[in-house]
Amino acid sequence: MQPFNENLLTALDRATSEEVVFRALLAAANELGFEHCAYGLRLAVPVSNPKVITLNNYPKAWQERYQQAGYLAVDPSVRHGRLSQQPLLWGDEVFDSAKQLWAEAKEHGLRIGWAQSSLDGFGVGGMLTLSRATEVLTARELQVKESEMRWLVQAAHLSLSRLMKPKFAVQPEVPLTPREIEVLKWSADGKTAGEISDILSISIPTVNFHIKNVVQKMKAANKTAAVVQALLSGLLN
Write the pLDDT tens digit of every residue in 91-106: 999 999 999 999 999 9
Q: Cα–Cα distance between 2 and 196 in angstroms, integer?
A: 51
Q: Which of 141, 168, 195 is the last residue of a domain?
A: 168
* pLDDT of amino acid 170: 67
Q: Which of 168, 195, 217 is the last residue of a domain?
A: 168
Q: What pTM was estimated for this model as a whole?
A: 0.74
**What is the residue range of 205's domain?**
178-232
Q: Has residue 62 been placed in a domain?
A: yes
3-state secondary structure the chain: CCHHHHHHHHHHHHCCCHHHHHHHHHHHHHHCCCCEEEEEEECCCCCCCCCEEEEECCCHHHHHHHHHCCHHHCCHHHHHHHHCCCCEECCCCCCHHHHHHHHHHHHCCCCEEEEEEEECCCCCEEEEEEEECCCCCCHHHHHHHHHHHHHHHHHHHHHHHHHHHHHHCCCCCCCCCHHHHHHHHHHHCCCCHHHHHHHHCCCHHHHHHHHHHHHHHCCCCCHHHHHHHHHHCCCCC
**Domain shared by 202 and 104, yes or no:** no
* pLDDT of amino acid 9: 77
* pLDDT of amino acid 2: 52
* pLDDT of amino acid 3: 55
Q: What is the pLDDT of residues 111-154, one digit of tens each?
A: 999 999 998 766 678 999 999 999 999 999 999 999 999 999 99
The neighbour count for residue 49, using CB atoms within 10 Å, is 7
**Domain shared by 51 and 162, yes or no:** yes
**Domain shared by 118 and 51, yes or no:** yes
Q: Has residue 237 been placed in a domain?
A: no
228: CATH: 1.10.10.10
Q: Give how far Cα 225 sits from Cα of 12, 47, 219, 237, Å.
A: 34, 10, 9, 17
Q: Using CA atoms in the order 8, 9, 14, 18, what is the torsion angle rounded to 10 degrees?
A: 70
Q: Cα–Cα distance between 218 and 3 in angstroms, integer?
A: 44
**Domain shared by 110 and 183, yes or no:** no
Residue ranges, the chain, pLDDT below 70: 1-5, 44-48, 121-123, 166-170
Q: Cα–Cα distance between 214 and 111 in angstroms, integer?
A: 51
Q: Has residue 202 been placed in a domain?
A: yes
- Ramachandran bin of 73, using left for φ above 0, alpha for ψ from -120 to 50, beta for the remaining angles: alpha
**Domain shared by 20 and 73, yes or no:** yes
**Domain shared by 161 and 224, yes or no:** no
List, in order, residues 6 or more apart from 213 with CB less than 8 Å away: 180
**Domain shared by 154 and 53, yes or no:** yes
